Chains A and B, each alone.
Chain A
């Protein structure tokens, strides 16, 4: 299967054929798997136009009428422009709407500073009762989207168009928001989404010299803080890696978990420092990863400096 977005909408269609009362509300955003959907399920494909605020409020109204609603639009606008609506409808009224944004992190950096999706994890973490899914491979998508499509709670889905592969992981049970990619000792690397594979690739490159850290993939927010604290206690040093701002994202969430559990461990965070501002020049994802220190070479250097010395 090509990527999580296609897996998701294919599952949506399967469920509708099986009698589930799902409607897809779109803010004028396409997906290849939605082309057939629009023809086959005309009355279940509704558009608000490029109107993300109304996407969220109308989705909630449809949910109030008993529909299972997928609200689908382009990020960051689904989360940043419509944050007030998300807070005051989905979060406050607790409707189990699934709202999904295409693009995560720097995946759409080519479109400019307005289109990078590097604050959404922080923002949605502040909305009570909303669970964020940040999937990191197709196998995970295949498993977790069955859970998402039960429409049992408000969910934010974060799609990354550059995730089109399956990762091997030690723990694919997906019980607590934390998936162990590999088990090592002393050193703990915690990452999420697109950077899961990146970290794994970098570590595999270094591993020839006997470096074997534990790698955790946080695929769901909030995650099980107790479980994370257990992992932290069992290691000496911790590194977090995220293609997201450092303020309020994965690294912050890890620090909060450790602080709340009274665990004192050195923690270093790699991510986008908001003090560096927005990417206000032309570049693709790889270019800006280098700019923000999130490319393979930069990550490897941090790992070597931080863990090896």
Chain B
């Protein structure tokens, strides 16, 4: 199996396990998780340096933190989260909720409130530069999260201080909770906005692992003085026919026959 095949199969496995976690806990945001599944898998199984000392270990910030259940199977798979911890996610009284906590190994943020992770990631990246630490900071933000003004404060900061050790994946699934973003307040043109704040920008298909990998080539060797935003065009609820682009599916779990339908499509790899 070549690397891309492996990562694509891993994505399906992670998405299945994500749904397991959400159904078992009776809570979660699978549509938000599925739009960024390939991004997170590509990061954890190839792009990021996960081991090494604190000065070298890459950092990961899930700013759209309601998508964290996509991360938990990965943290378990890679040994950052024990089987016991994993089995108890979202079980009452357990420390692992639907959000990440700074105490969880393998990632670097306590999340949940939108608009906070990018400023934190920028501070972390800036601190690394001041310390001459070599690690990269990777951050996933949501497109609708960009309605938060604090995101733009952070974008301005990172551009100004030339934080070229910071890579942001913008999960451009085109939807908020109630509607498509461009039906609400227009967010485009994202690329122009980031560029005008001093960032490099690439726009890719966020479900194509090859494109995700290619987008960050050169970042580690700081080919540019600028932070990088990878705008990932994605589909909210990607891979499950009734979830894809469905309004008001945000934070909703499948029920009854829809559960089997979801698993069937995740097993086959695609409903298309």
Interface residues of A (CB under 8 A from B): 23, 43, 46, 48-49, 51, 53-54, 56-67, 84-85, 87-89, 92-94
Contacts and interface: CB of A to CB of B under 8 A. Distances in A.
Given A51-B153, A88-B112, A58 B130 contact: no
Contacts of B74: none
B126 interface: yes
Interface residues of B, number: 31
B110 interface: yes
Contacts of B124: 61-62, 64-65
Contact of A58 (B108, B109, B119, B149): B119
Given A54-B150, A58-B123, 14 more contacts: A46-B161, A48-B157, A49-B153, A49-B157, A51-B153, A57-B116, A57-B122, A61-B127, A63-B127, A67-B130, A67-B131, A88-B116, A93-B102, A93-B109
B110 A93 contact: yes
B8 interface: no
A58 B115 CA distance: 12
Nearest to B102: A93
B110 A65 contact: no
7 contacts: A48-B153, A49-B157, A57-B117, A57-B150, A58-B157, A65-B125, A93-B109
B253 interface: no
Contacts of B118: 57
Given A43-B130, A53-B149, A89 B116 contact: yes
A178 to B, nearest CB: 33
Contact of A46 (B59, B126, B131, B156): B126
Given A46-B161, A51-B157, A57 B119 contact: yes
Contacts of B119: 53-54, 56-58, 61, 85
Contacts of B131: 65-67
Interface in B103-137: 108-110, 112-113, 115-128, 130-131, 133
